[in-house]
Amino acid sequence: MRPRISLALALAIWTAPLASAQVRGVVEVSGLAPIPLATAPTRGPRALALQVDADLAGHLTRSHWFDVVPGAAVPDSGPPLVPPGVSFVASASLAESDSGVVLQGYVHAADGSRQLGREYRAGPDEHRVLVRRFADDVVQTLTGQPGIAATRIAFVADSEGHPAIFSTTPDGAETKRLVGGRFECLFPRFAPGRPWLVYTAFPKDYPQLVMLDTSSGAVLSISDRPGLNSLGAIHPDGTKVAATLSFQGNPEVYLLDLAGKVLRRLTNHRSSDLSPAWSPDGSQLAFVSDRSGSPAIYLLDMEGSAPPRRLTHGFDSTRYAVEPTFSPRGDYLAFSGRGAGDMDVWVVRLRDGEFFRVTEGGPDEEAPEWAPDNRHLVVATRSGRNRGIEVLDVRVPGNRYRIPLPGRTGLRDPTWSLPARLSDSGRTP
Amino acid sequence: MNRTSRVPCLLVAALALAITGCGGRKSKPPSEVVEKPPAEVTPAPEGEGRDGPDTPGFDASAGRDPSVWSGDLPLGDSAPEIGRYDEPAGWDLGPDPSRPRGTDELASDEAQALFADVLFAFDSYRLSPEDRQRLTETGRYLRQRPGWSLLIEGHCDERGDAAYNLALGEKRALTVREFLASTGVAPGRLLSVSYGEERPLDPGLGEEAWARNRRAHFRVRR
C-alpha cells in the first residue's frame, strides 16, 4: 500500500535541489521498515558455533533489512520457537567431516513454516565462508534482494612503501593483497559480473592500464602508451574497456579492446575528460569533465552521435562533482561532490534528475561504488591524515559502518565485486 | 496532494528559493596553515608476504605511437625499473659525482634556476608570464645542448579527487612540454608524465606544503 506523501516530505523534495540539502535517505515508496528477525544459537562444535552465531548476526544486521534479535530457541525436534513480535527465525547447524565443514541453514516463519532450507559445504576451516553464503540466502529469500556478505571489496592501501591493491569482505575478516609492493598500483575497478580487476600500475615509472584476473592470478597489460593510461572501467560485456589516455596530447576518454587497440575516441575537448563509468547495460557512459570550468559529470549515449549531456549542475555541493558510479539496476548514479568544505556523497535519481545527499559535514567521503544490492555504497573517508573504508546505506544515512582494517594506512579508492561463486553450495537437503 | 495544501507548499518553496538564491556559494579551498608533522614511517603489517603477483608480465610493445614517443629515448623497455622517486637511475638533475668537481653544468646556478620546479596555482595549469620568460631561457639552454633530453613530471597537492589530480598533473606536464617545444626544442627530446598527488615533494599538510607540490618537475638525461 503506498504511504501518503506528507506535506513535510513533499516540501523537502521540492526544495532539496535549491537549498543546501539536509542529509536524508534516498526515499523509496515501498518496503522501508526493517523485518523483525530472530537468530537461534547454532548447533555444532562449540567454538565454531559461537563464530557462526556472531558472524550470522553481524551479516544480517549489516544488511540493514532486519531488526535482528538473538534468543530464538531450537527444540530437539520440530521448527524453532519464534519469539513474540518476530516474523522469522534464522538457524543453522554445523558439522565437521574429513573433507571439510557442512552448514545447514534454515529460515522459519512465525507460523513454523519453513521458508529456506539449504546445505553448504566447503573445505576445512572455511565455515566463515559458508555463513556468508547462508546470510545472503536469508536476505534473498526474505527480501528478494541480493545479499552482500559474500562479496568482495577491493581497495588501495600502503604496502612496502607504495599504494597497493587489497581485497576484503565487507566484515573485514578476510583481507589479502592482490597486487603491488614495489610500485604504485591505483584506481582499482572490478569488472561487472567477472572476477577481473582493472587498475593503474607504475612498474616503469609511468601509468599503465593493467588488468588482473583474480581467479587465475594472470595479469594483462592493456595500454602503456605515452602519457596517461588510467582510470579504466570494463564494459559490462567484458570485451571492452573505457579509460583515460593522453597519448594524443590531452586527457581524453577512449574505448579500447582488451588488447589495448583503440576502438573509438569518446571525447574530444581541450578539457580533461576522465573517470568513465558504464551503465549496467553498457548503453551509457558517465564521465568527469572540467569543460565547464570545474569538474562535472556528463552522460554519453553510446548509440548515436549526440554530444555528452551534463548531469550535475554548478551549485553548492555538486559544483565539483567527480567519481560517477551507476547503481546495479541503472536507476541511480552516485558521485562525490564538494561544496563549501568537505567532499560528500550524493545520489541522483536518473528518471527525474532528483538529487539526494547521503553524507554531510565532518570527514571527506569520496570515490563511492555501489554494492550489488542497489542499496549500499562503499566509500573512502578522509579526515586529515586518517583514512578509512566505510559502507553507507543510501536509504538510511545513519546506517553506516567502517570496515575494520587494523594497521592499514593510505586507505582509498574502494570497488565492489559481485559475489564469488562457491562450487558446492546451494543444494537443498 | 489536494488543492489546499498546494499553496503553502509553493509559498514555502518560493521563500526557500529567495533565501538561498540560485547561483550557489563559491567553494573556497581550505586555507588553514598547519604545522608540518614529522615524517611518518609505516612498517608493513605482520605476515604481509607476497600474496599476489606484483611483477606483471607486461607486453610493453602494446600501442606505442612512434611519432609522439621517440624511440631514441628509453623510458620504456630498456629503462631499469625505477622503483622509487628518489632513485631516478639515468635521470638526474643534481651534480654528477663521477664528474670532476666544478665541471658539472647542472650544478651551476644558471642550470639550477632554469630547471627549477614550475609552480602552479590551485586547480590550474596556467603558466605565468614569469614562467614563460624563464622557460624561454630553459628552451634556449636545451637547444644549445642537442644531446640532452628532458622528462617533465606533473604533480598536484593532495586535495580533491585523486583521479582528477592525475589528469591535472598531466595537463601541467603537457603545458610545460608544449611551451618548451614552441621555443624550438625538438618534441622528441621532451617527455612528460603525471604522478598526480602520488609523489608529493612535501608530505606536510597546509598551504606551504601544498604550494610546493603543485609543480612541474624536471629530470634531465644527458
Q: Do residue A226 and residue B64 have CB atoms under 8 angstroms apart? A: yes
**Chain B residue with minimal CA distance to A366?**
B161
Rounded Cα gap, residues A15 and A19, in angstroms: 6
Please determine, for residue A8, whether its predicted confidence score (pLDDT) is greater than 60: no
pLDDT band at A423 (very low <50, low <70, confident <90, very high): very low
For A:338-377, CB contacts with B below 8 A are 338-341, 343, 366-367
Calculate how close chain B gets to A145, using CA atoms only, in Å: 31
Residue B36, pLDDT above cutoff 70: no
Residue B78: the pLDDT is 28
pLDDT band with cut points at 50, 70 and 90 for residue B100 = low
Check pLDDT > 70 for residue A428: no
At A322, is the pLDDT very low, low, confident or very high (cuts 50, 70, 90)? very high
Q: Is the pLDDT of residue A401 over 50?
A: yes
A82 has a pLDDT exceeding 90: no
Selected residue with higher pLDDT from A318 and A72: A72
- A348-393 pLDDT tens trace: 999 988 888 899 878 999 999 999 999 999 999 999 889 999 999 9
Tell me the Cα Rg of chain A: 23
How far apart CA B214 and CA B208 sit, in angstroms, is 11
Interface test with B, best of A158, A225, A228 (most B CBs within 10 A): A228
Residue A193: is it exposed, middle or buried by C-beta count within 10 angstroms (0-12/13-18/19+)? middle
SS3 A44: coil
Give the nearest partner residue to A228 out of B5, B162, B170, using CB atoms.
B170
User: Cβ–Cβ of B59/A221 closer than 8 Å?
Assistant: yes
Q: Does residue B112 carry a pLDDT above 70?
A: yes
pTM assigned to the model = 0.81
Comparing CA positions, the residue from B121, B164, B50 lying closest to residue A296 is B164
Q: Is the pLDDT of residue A5 over 60?
A: no
Interface of A with B in 38-67 (CB under 8 A): none
Q: Cβ-count burial of A417 within 10 angstroms (0-12 exposed, 13-18 middle, 19+ buried)?
A: buried
Minimum mean pLDDT range among A117-131, A171-185, A407-421: A407-421
Would you call B198 and A186 a contact, using CB atoms and an 8 Å cutoff?
yes
- At A223-274, the pLDDT tens digits run 999 999 999 999 999 999 999 999 999 999 999 999 999 999 999 999 999 9
pLDDT band at A7 (very low <50, low <70, confident <90, very high): low
Cell of A356: 539526494
Q: How far is CA A307 from CA A4, A33, A282, A285, B39, in A?
A: 40, 42, 17, 12, 47
Per the CB < 8 A criterion, the answer to whether A114 and A88 are in contact is: no
Note the maximum CA span of chain B: 92
Rounded CA gap, A22 and B42, in Å?
A: 38
Residue B87 has pLDDT above 50, yes or no: no
Mean pLDDT for chain A overall: 88
Phi, psi for residue B215 in degrees, rounded to 5: -155, 160
Alpha helices in A38-150 (DSSP H): 46-63, 127-143
> Quick check: helix, strand or coil at residue A241?
strand
What is the spatial distance between Cα A199 and Cα B52, in angstroms, rounded to a whole number?
A: 14
Please check whether residue A197 touches B, CB under 8 A: no
Q: Does the pLDDT of residue B145 top 50, yes or no?
A: yes
Q: Is residue B39 scored above 70 in pLDDT?
A: no
Spell out which residues of chain B touch residue A261, defining contact as CB-CB under 8 Å: 63
What is residue A370's predicted lDDT score, i.e. its pLDDT? 97
Most confident of the following: A52-56, A316-320, B54-58: A52-56
Residue A149 cell numbers, joined: 556478505
pLDDT in tens, B53-80: 322 322 222 223 222 222 222 222 322 2
- In angstroms, rounded to a whole number, what is the distance separating the alpha carbons of residues A61 and A67? 7
**Which residue type is seen at A142?**
L
Inter-chain residue contact B48 with A223, CB threshold 8 Å = no
> Between A127-143 and A46-63, two packed helices, what is the crossing angle to 10 degrees?
40
Q: Which of the four pLDDT bands, split at 50, 70 and 90, describes residue A20?
A: very low
Let me know: does A277 contact A325? Beta carbons within 8 Å. yes
- Could you tell me which of B155, B32, B163, B149 has the C-alpha nearest to residue A288? B163
Cβ-based contacts of A164 with chain B (< 8 Å)? 54
pLDDT band, very low/low/confident/very high, at A28 (cuts 50, 70, 90): low
ipTM for the complex?
Answer: 0.89
Residue A342 is predicted with a pLDDT of 85
Chain A residues 371-400 with CB within 8 Å of chain B: 384-385
CA neighbor of A34 nearest in space, from A69, A5, A71: A69
Give percent above pLDDT 90 in chain B. Answer: 46
CA pair distance B37, B49, nearest whole angstrom:
30
Cα atoms in the Cβ-side hemisphere of radius 13 Å centred on B138? 29
Report the pLDDT value the prediction gives residue A65, as an integer from 0 to 100. 95
pLDDT(A183) > 50: yes
- Average pLDDT of chain B, as a whole number: 68
Determine contact: A158 vs chain B, CB below 8 A: yes
Q: Quickly state the pLDDT bin for A425 (edges 50, 70, 90).
A: very low
